[in-house]
């Protein structure tokens, strides 16, 4: 049996220059809830899923964060991020790389700890149609970063790449993704 290469890409900070837009969107959401957290503290947490982010927020601020407040923060972040859609750009060479892989017949997919409501901004900037290309978002999995196997749900009966005869590579940009990839079947 021939081993086929497969690439699994992270989205924010790997294919798309969106990290600072996320930082500022979280800052807006936190400010709207009267939670004072400096930008540099927010920046350190980018790459975590929103759930992990809010758990870390609890530890860092000592505030009581109800489920309702967590949901308001998530929605506030999404709304603030969507307002910045015009500032999100693909990183140099990202579109060309994805086009080259496609033209070469090499399979690739995108997995992100973000929800589709924010990932859609990035996918649009890349010109990626999630109806044609496998895209896994936080909406589709029980746990997000840094749980590596959770980023590949069973879609249409397909198994996680580590359970198939594929040679896979993971490309990601944050310490959380590198940590997760180190525990998964494929490396960074």
**CA dist list (Å): 40 to 75, 77, 84, 87:** 21, 17, 19, 20
Amino acid 117: pLDDT: 92
Reading across the β-sheet that carries 4-9, which strands appear in turn? 135-136, 107-111, 4-9, 166-171
Strands (E), 27-184: 89-90, 107-111, 135-136, 166-171
pLDDT-derived band at 45 (thresholds 50, 70, 90) equals: confident
- The residue extents of the domains of the chain are 4-17+90-183, 19-86
Cα–Cα dist 70/121, whole Å? 22
pLDDT in tens, 21-38: 999 999 999 999 999 888
Amino acid 89: pLDDT: 94
Res. 167: pLDDT tops 70: no
Secondary structure (3-state) at 105: coil
- Out of 1.10.10.60, 3.40.640.10, 1.10.150.240, 1.20.140.10, the CATH code matching 19-86 is 1.10.150.240
Strands (E), the chain: 4-9, 16-17, 89-90, 107-111, 135-136, 166-171
Cα–Cα dist 47/130, whole Å? 21
Res. 183: pLDDT tops 60: no
Third-level CATH fold of 4-17+90-183: Rossmann fold (3.40.50)
pLDDT in tens, 71-128: 899 899 999 999 998 999 999 999 999 999 999 999 999 988 888 999 999 999 999 9
Q: What is the pTM for the complete model shown?
A: 0.72
Q: What is the dihedral of CA 28, 34, 39, 42, to 10 degrees?
A: -90
More confident residue, 31 or 45: 31
Which residues are bridge partners to 90 per DSSP? 16
pLDDT-derived band at 63 (thresholds 50, 70, 90) equals: confident
Cα–Cα dist 122/88, whole Å? 7
Q: Are strands 107-111 and 135-136 parallel, antiparallel or unpaired?
A: parallel
């Amino acid at each position: 049996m021939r081993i086929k290469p497969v690439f699994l890409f992270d989205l924010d900070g790997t294919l798309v220059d969106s990290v600072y837009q996320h930082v500022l969107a979280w800052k807006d959401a936190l400010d709207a809830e009267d939670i004072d957290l400096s930008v540099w503290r927010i920046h350190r947490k980018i790459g975590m899923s929103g759930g992990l982010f809010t758990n870390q927020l609890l530890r860092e601020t000592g505030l009581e964060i109800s489920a309702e407040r967590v949901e308001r923060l998530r929605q506030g972040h999404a709304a603030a991020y969507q307002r910045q859609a015009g500032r999100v750009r693909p990183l140099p060479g990202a579109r060309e790389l994805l086009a080259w892989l496609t033209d070469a017949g090499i399979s690739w997919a995108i997995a992100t700890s973000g929800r589709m409501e924010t990932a859609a901004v990035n996918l649009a900037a890349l010109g990626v149609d999630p109806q044609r290309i496998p895209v896994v978002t936080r909406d589709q999995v029980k746990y997000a970063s840094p749980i590596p196997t959770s980023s590949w749900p069973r879609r249409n009966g397909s198994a996680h790449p580590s359970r198939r005869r594929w040679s896979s590579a993971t490309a990601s940009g944050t310490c959380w993704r590198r940590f997760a990839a180190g525990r998964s079947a494929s490396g960074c």
